[in-house]
């Protein structure tokens, strides 16, 4: 089972993904973006963005929490939100891997002992390398095309104050009692794609089933619950303590298919219609049924789409496919 989601969300005054700090200035991540002018020519502009790495980190933190809550195995590093995975032999040994294990045995032991490494993948690069590709894929969150020129990055001025200069340590003598700093904030309507191959969970890179059907089902449920938790709680990105964004999901569109099928890019206003046309071709040519669910405050959803009232309900409908 393969699940694909196209999500459009509004984020006002956010600092969810900072790329660097130089002196007292923290920069928001920017990426090059191609736009088409009225005369048909193309040009590039730089726009605010949230990296796929940032989104993937947030998802895996919640994946670990949901797995622990449901009594599933999670390694010590992933429990702490430190996703080193089994990057070297020392970490792999903590999952029962011993010198002399071949790649199949190594992968099996690691997958058995950590849900996050099963779903999020790992690369053991030391010695004989063992690679497990992540079961989920996530794009950068980028401004939608209709509103790309309305997206903005703006530096906000802040100040720190010392109210007791006489108590300052000797090494700080001469330092300014007022310290200004800047944090760039972004505002945009973002679009992103999130895919997860539920059929890859608990299965080796070579197609062999590693876990029991019952354990695989538990992990598939946890994978979707973590996704629901991330989208509902908005616990995604950096600087949430003091720059928690005014955020709202505008549209969520999801497909559930037997084989990999990805929704069209939500950066386009026509992505729902384009996805439906593509799904129809797959159904006609390959005889595969694709279930389609949607929530939107922007569009009137076509009749082919199962319409739902909240983004959370979209994920709950997908969960039914696993729990059946």
Q: What is the pLDDT of residues 234-260, one digit of tens each?
A: 999 999 999 999 999 999 999 999 999
Examine the pLDDT at 165 and tell me if it is beyond 70: no
For residue 111, with 0-12 CB atoms within 10 Å meaning exposed, 13-18 middle and 19 or more buried, which class applies? Answer: buried
| Contact between 46 and 31 (Cβ < 8 Å) | yes
Look at residue 168 in the predicted model and tell me its pLDDT.
56
Q: How many CB atoms lie within 10 A of CB 157?
A: 8
Look at residue 173 in the predicted model and tell me its pLDDT.
55
| Contact between 28 and 199 (Cβ < 8 Å) | no
Domain ranges of the chain: 2-19+49-140+187-323
Q: What is the DSSP string of 142-154?
A: EE-GGGGGG-EEE
Contacts of 174-182 spanning 24+ positions with Cβ under 8 A: 179/24, 180/24, 181/24, 181/25, 181/26, 181/157, 182/24, 182/25, 182/26, 182/155, 182/156, 182/157, 182/158
Write the DSSP symbol of residue 128: S
Examine the pLDDT at 170 and tell me if it is beyond 60: no
Look at residue 167 in the predicted model and tell me its pLDDT.
56
Examine the pLDDT at 288 and tell me if it is beyond 90: yes
| Contact between 114 and 79 (Cβ < 8 Å) | no
* pLDDT single digits (tens) 55-103: 999 999 999 999 999 999 999 999 999 998 988 888 888 888 888 888 8
Look at residue 91 in the predicted model and tell me its pLDDT.
87
- If one compares 273 and 103, the residue with the highest pLDDT of the two is 273
d(CA 128, CA 109) in angstroms, rounded, equals 15
**pTM given for the model:** 0.91
């Amino acid at each position: 089972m393969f699940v694909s989601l196209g999500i459009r969300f509004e984020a006002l005054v956010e600092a969810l993904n900072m790329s660097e700090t130089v002196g007292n200035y923290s920069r928001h991540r920017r990426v090059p973006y191609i736009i088409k002018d009225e005369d048909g020519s193309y040009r590039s502009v730089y726009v605010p963005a949230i990296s796929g790495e940032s989104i993937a980190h947030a998802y895996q933190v919640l994946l670990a929490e949901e797995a622990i809550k449901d009594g599933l195995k999670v390694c010590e590093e992933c429990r702490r939100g430190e996703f080193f995975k089994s990057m070297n032999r020392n970490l792999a040994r903590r999952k029962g891997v011993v010198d002399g294990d071949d790649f199949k045995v190594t992968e099996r032991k690691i997958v058995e002992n950590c849900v996050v490494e099963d779903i999020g993948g790992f690369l053991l690069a030391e010695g004989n390398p063992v690679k497990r590709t992540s079961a989920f894929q996530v794009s950068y969150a980028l401004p939608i095309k209709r509103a790309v020129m309305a997206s903005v990055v703006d530096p906000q001025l802040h100040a720190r104050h010392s109210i007791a200069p006489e108590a300052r340590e000797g090494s700080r003598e001469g330092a300014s009692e007022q310290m200004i700093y800047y944090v760039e904030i972004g505002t945009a309507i973002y679009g992103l794609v999130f895919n997860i191959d539920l059929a890859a969970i608990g299965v080796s890179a070579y197609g062999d089933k590693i876990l029991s059907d019952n354990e695989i089902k538990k992990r598939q449920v946890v994978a979707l619950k973590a996704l629901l938790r991330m989208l509902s709680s908005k616990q995604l990105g950096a600087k949430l303590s003091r720059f928690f964004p005014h955020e709202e999901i505008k549209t969520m569109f999801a497909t559930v298919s037997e084989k990999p099928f990805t929704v069209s890019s939500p950066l386009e206003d026509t992505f729902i219609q384009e996805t439906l046309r593509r799904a129809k071709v797959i159904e006609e040519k390959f005889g595969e049924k694709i279930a389609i669910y949607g929530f939107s405050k922007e569009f009137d959803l076509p009749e082919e789409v199962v319409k739902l009232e909240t983004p959370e309900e979209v994920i709950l409908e997908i969960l039914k496919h696993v729990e059946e």
